[in-house]
Amino acid sequence: MQRYLSMGSLFTAVAAMLVLQFAAAANTATEPVNRPQKGWMMRHESFNERVKQGNADLLMIGDSITHGWEGPGKAVWDQYYAKRNAVNLGISGDRTEHVLWRLQHGNIDGIHPKLAVIMIGTNNHADNSAEEIAEGVNAIVALLRDKLPEMKILILGIFPRDEQPGTDNRKKLAEANSIIQKTADGEMIHYLDIGQAFLTEDGVLTKEIMPDALHPNEKGYEIWAAAMEDQIAGLMGEK
């Protein structure tokens, strides 16, 4: 009897260990999930209503930094992207897993864009490793390639955060970018890192460009738009 009890206890211990190992191995950045906030769902549903109207040639996919094209970046957006039938698919606070969920639930249904620009991953920095962040971004790319195979993709390197260079956040995001860029094939998937354009020569992220060392002001959006304009024009077949 004691032998069977011991074997049962051993089985329970092994099963518990396997569950813990699986949990530790799971990458939250690649597991699609929505967010519970009413405002988040309303904005998500507004995207679905917008794409039902068609005329979506350029998609901007991301978090608050992309969302900000409707705030500090609005004048720059109107100058560069309104005429291109651009759609802003950015929601403040989103992580890669939230973007994955949105893309699976209507944000790109029934449309045939020429180009999608992806800028996502900074909000994963606290809970995910560089490798996990890169896997989250690459999962988004894979989903877009599957659903919209004729659309080109421009992955932007995750923008630098923190005022001073050399911080753990800067290092982690730079490492994630070094992995993400390997996804580019130069044909349908392209990569562009414009992070240096926001920094001084000694690597400082100044308040004149990103007042909170994360979100661009109007000047920051001007830098962003100018830095990727040539590539966007080329990928959209304008030149």
Alpha helices (H) in the chain, listed in sequence order: 2-25, 38-52, 64-67, 74-80, 96-104, 130-147, 168-180, 218-235
What is the pTM (predicted TM-score) of this model? Answer: 0.89
What is the pLDDT, as a whole number, of residue 18?
46
> Is residue 23 predicted with pLDDT exceeding 50?
no
Task: Please state whether beta strands 189-192 and 115-119 pair in parallel, antiparallel, or not at all (unpaired).
Answer: unpaired
Q: What is the pLDDT of residues 140-179, one digit of tens each?
A: 999 999 999 999 999 999 999 999 999 999 999 999 999 9
- pLDDT at residue number 6: 54
The DSSP output letter for 55 is -
Please give the average per-residue pLDDT across 86-108, as a whole number.
Answer: 98
Sequence-distant (≥ 6) Cβ neighbours of residue 197 within 8 angstroms: 223, 224, 227
**Annotated active-site positions, please?**
64, 212, 215
Which tens digit of pLDDT belongs to each residue from 172-209?
Answer: 999 999 999 999 999 999 999 999 999 999 999 999 99
Assign domain 2-235 to its CATH architecture. 3-Layer(aba) Sandwich (3.40)
173 backbone dihedrals φ, ψ, rounded to 5°: -70, -35
Q: Is the pLDDT of residue 20 over 60?
A: no
| Confidence band of 239 (pLDDT split at 50, 70, 90) | confident
The pLDDT of residue 219 is above 90: yes
pLDDT of residue 5: 45
